[in-house]
Every structure is written in structure tokens, then in C-alpha cells.
Chain A
Amino acid sequence: MKTAIHSRVPPIIFNRRERLAGKCHALCMTEAPRSVIGVALNFAVPSPAPLAPVLYLKTPNTWIASGAHIPCPAGHDRIRCAGTLGIVIARNACRVAAADAFDFIAGFTVVNDVSLPHDSLLRPAIRQRCFDGSCSIGETCPQVAGQTLFEIGVVINNVLRSVDHTASLVRSIPQLIQDISEFMTLREGDILLVGEPVTSPLAQPGDNVRVEIPGVGAIENRVVAA
């Protein structure tokens, strides 16, 4: 097969310091920027259930690396820390069938998808989900062929606060790739977050939050007052 446009953007998410130094900026201006896409309601379905995956974006200002601080927004004393699995996309995926989904996965990564708690899902929660530093992303671990079962643990101040399993996903990993790529191309280097466990704990400034997925990796960040 011949590929008309061959891009080799490494699936690296720049950390906050690098972004401020302008590295990410330079990348964004010359290459189509990558996306980090979240899926709401994928560990528990409300009734009536949504017909399509309920998506949100973790905009580039939210991306931080393990070790960086998570700023708790002014006026708030608690943030929700959803440990989740990130699927790193290997090549452009447009209208991919679930059966072929693994051909489009480069690997997996550990993500702490941080948000301000919000009960209503009626309107897009930009303020609650897109604040600076609200998405910690680990190193990419190459996929083990076809593996879909992962255990996700969130540890706050050395106390295990939640354990969830991707076996509980409402839409499985291949199903998500099929349902999303039907209308929105997932591009090389994009990261798709599989969902937020309903047990995701709250954290406050001073807390040390660690997310670990055995076989994939671990990330650790301290929450600070913004």
C-alpha cells in the first residue's frame, strides 16, 4: 500500500515546561496538532443510554507529564482524579470496523483525567474538564496484541483509593474506535481515554496522586493550589 502523506510525529506529549518553552507551539504550527479525546459515561450507563459515545476533549493546555503539579483551580478545594487507560493511535483511523481496531493502536498509556466534580452532563463541561494541567499522561507502552483487560488503580498519599477494570467498559476498546472513527478521524499520535471509573476519588492540594496500570506503567503528580 502507498501512503500519500507520511508523517512521523512521535506520540510524545510535551510537558508543561516544554510547552511554555515553545516546543509544543512550534509543533502545533507546523503539524496538525494531536488530540486527547475522553469518553464520558463509559463505566456506567444512565437511563436512557446515549446512542453514541459521549466525548470531550482534553485540550493541549491540560497536558502534563508525570512529576508535574496538578493545579487545583482557585475557588475549588477538591478535584476528581479519574485514573484511566489511554489508547495511543498508530495511524489515521477513519471508519474503522471494530474487528480491525487493533491495527490502529500503537500502544497504551496511563492517564490521570482530572476534572472538577459536576453532576449535570447536559452541557459540555469545558470549565470543569479543560483547566490547565488537568490531564497527566504517561509514557507509551507498546500494545500486547489484542490485550483489552487492564486493571487501573488510583493511590492517594500511599492509600489505594480505587481499583477498576476495563472489563467493566460499556463500549469496549474496539467498539469505541469503531463508533468514534465513524464520524471523527482518530489521527496518529492521538490518545483516546477509555472512560472514567465511577469510583474515581477526590483529591485536594497537597495530595500525591498516583495512577497505575500493571503492564502499562504508572504516573504520579502532586495537587497544588493554583
Chain B
Amino acid sequence: MKHARVAYSGSIQHAISENGQLRLNDGRLVPETSVVWLPPVVSGTILALGLNYPSHAKELNFEPPAEPLSFPKSYTSLVGHLGQTRYPAGVAHMHYECELAVVIGKTARNVPKHAAYEFIRGYTIANDYAVRDYLENFYRPNMRAKSRDQATPLGPWLVDAADIPDPMNLRLTTTVNGRLTQQGCTKDMLFDIPTLIEYFTAFITLQHGDLILTGTPEGLADVKPGDQVVTEIEGIGSLVNTIVEDWRS
């Protein structure tokens, strides 16, 4: 089943995909085009992976890390499907990153690899934009580059784990204005999902709704205001975002 969090006619609703429409939790069936899409989960902890695909590490001229390279993200960085992400004034390099996002389903502490999938609620798609101009060699990738308000599109759906029998073999693609720019497969992750869950829960008690963004494969390209960026993962959906000027008036 595919779940969404949406705003419809002034209220926030949980919705389920039904024959191309949305069944709201109050029973109404409404067109997908009639809602505002919100990030499908409310997360207390968001952990993202850097350099988790050897191809991407090579592209950035980094050695693949020996231990998962992870960084925290603020809840304020999330934005829903069909949302806008602001392009900071004066920067030259900002790129998308299509990532499989794992949603934790229950309190998880000291979870061994073989039990990891029992703790997964489902999956969604993250586009973990980075503003490369703001990267600095302190806690890199630093939060100014990676945790900007509304600069992490998430969604559209939270897809039940039961509907994704093999999350370690899903095709990821990104298109910019319809042109294919990134493709990869989750089977190429350096640290797979069970390894990541074992690693994190050895020291962090994760809770229902927490997110692990599992990293991105090679194929980065700069985006500019006006670009429409679609990050897609096989079986999970297609997440659309538009880059806009950061105007203030």
C-alpha cells in the first residue's frame, strides 16, 4: 500500500493511493492533483549517508569510507512532492541526489543485520540536494550545504515494506527537464540497508518515523532556477521538485 500525507481543503490528512486517486482518512476519494503533498513521514531523526555508492565516491575523487559516512539533517530541510526548493543567490553549483529513504517502523536498538528488515516501516524517495559552494572541511558535508530549509524533497509515497520484496535491487533515476542525468541501482550500495541499521542502532535508539537516506549513485549535474528535477525509484514512485529563485520582497 502507498501512503501519503497531504493537505486537502484546509486539513492535513493521511491518504492511500487507490486507482490513481487518493483515499483520504475521512473516506473521501479525491484526485491526486487536488492536494498539496507533504513529506510522507514526520521524523525525529534523519540520518543521511555520504559516499555510499563507490561510483559516486569515485566521481567526487574520494576513497570509499571504511565506516559509514553519515550526517544529520534537520526536519526543516524536508519538503513534499511537487514542492519548490530555493536556489541560493550567488551560488554556482547545486546538485540533486536521488536516494532510497528507509523509514523505521518501531523502536530499534542493537538490531543485528539478520533482523534489520523487521524494523522497517517502508520506503520513500529523497532528493538530497547539496549546495557545493557551501561545502567546508568541517563536519563535511556540513549542514549549510546539506540541511537547508526545504532543500530535501521527500515522497510522494511511503510504500509499505511488504510491497518492496528486495529493496537492495531497485533502479534509481533522475531526470532534469526530462533529460536522464543519473541512473544507478541500490544493489551497488557500499553499506547495504541491514548493515546501516545494525551500525546506527548500535549507538542510536531509532524510533517509528525516523529516516535513513541511503546515499546516491554517480551522475551528478548542476541545477538552476526553473529546472524541474524528477527523482524516481522503481516500485516506489516519482518525486517531482522545481528549483526556484530565492527571491525576497
Which B residues touch A30, using CB under 8 A? 42
Chain A interface residue count: which class? Answer: 35 or more
Complex A-B: 25 CB contacts under 8 Å: A24-B44, A28-B43, A33-B44, A41-B138, A52-B134, A52-B142, A53-B144, A55-B139, A55-B143, A56-B143, A57-B73, A61-B204, A61-B205, A73-B203, A94-B149, A122-B140, A124-B71, A124-B72, A124-B139, A124-B141, A126-B47, A132-B109, A132-B204, A183-B148, A184-B149
- B173 interface residue, CB < 8 Å from A? no
Is the Cβ of B204 less than 8 Å from the Cβ of A130? yes
Which A residues touch B140, using CB under 8 A? 122-124
Contact pattern, A 50-62, Cβ under 8 Å of B = 1, otherwise 0: 1111111101110
User: Which residue of B has the minimal Cβ distance to A129?
Assistant: B72
Query: Known contacts A28-B207, A50-B136; is A57 also within 8 Å of B42 by CB?
Result: no
- Return the contact of A33 from the options B43, B70, B109, B134 (Cβ within 8 A): B43
**Bound Cα distance from A45 to B204, whole angstroms:** 30
Size of the chain B interface, CB-CB below 8 angstroms: 39
Interface of B is mostly: loop
**Bound Cα distance from A29 to B248, whole angstroms:** 32
- A172 interface residue, CB < 8 Å from B? no
**Bound Cα distance from A131 to B202, whole angstroms:** 9
**Total contacts A to B, CB within 8 angstroms?**
118
Question: Among B74-82, B122-130, B186-194, B216-224, which stretch is in contact with chain A?
Answer: B74-82
- B45 interface residue, CB < 8 Å from A? yes
Q: A126-B47, A183-B144 are in contact. List 18 more A-B contacts (CB 8 A).
A: A24-B44, A25-B107, A28-B42, A28-B209, A33-B42, A33-B43, A51-B136, A54-B139, A59-B204, A60-B45, A60-B207, A123-B139, A124-B139, A124-B140, A127-B67, A132-B205, A184-B144, A184-B149
- B116 interface residue, CB < 8 Å from A? no
